[in-house]
Amino acid sequence: MKITITCVGRAGRAKHDASQSLIEAYRERLPWPVAIREVEDRKAGGTAAERKAREAALLLAAIPKGAVIIALDERGKSLTSRAFADQLAAWRDHGEQEVAFVIGGADGLDRSVLDRARLTLSLSAMTWPHLLARVMLLEQLYRAWSLQTGHPYHRD
Model confidence, pTM: 0.93
pLDDT along the chain (156 residues), means of 10: 93 69 94 95 90 97 97 96 97 96 95 98 90 94 94 73
Give the separation between CA 88 and CA 90, rounded to whole angstroms: 5
What pLDDT score does 48 carry? Answer: 94
Domains of the chain listed by start with CATH number:
2-11+31-148 (3.40.1280.10)
Strand order in the sheet with 68-78: 34-39, 2-8, 98-103, 68-78, 119-122
What pLDDT score does 90 carry? Answer: 97
Give the separation between CA 50 and CA 66, rounded to whole angstroms: 27
Contact 27, 139 (CB under 8 A): no
Neighbouring CB atoms inside 10 A of 8's CB total 24
What pLDDT score does 82 carry? Answer: 96
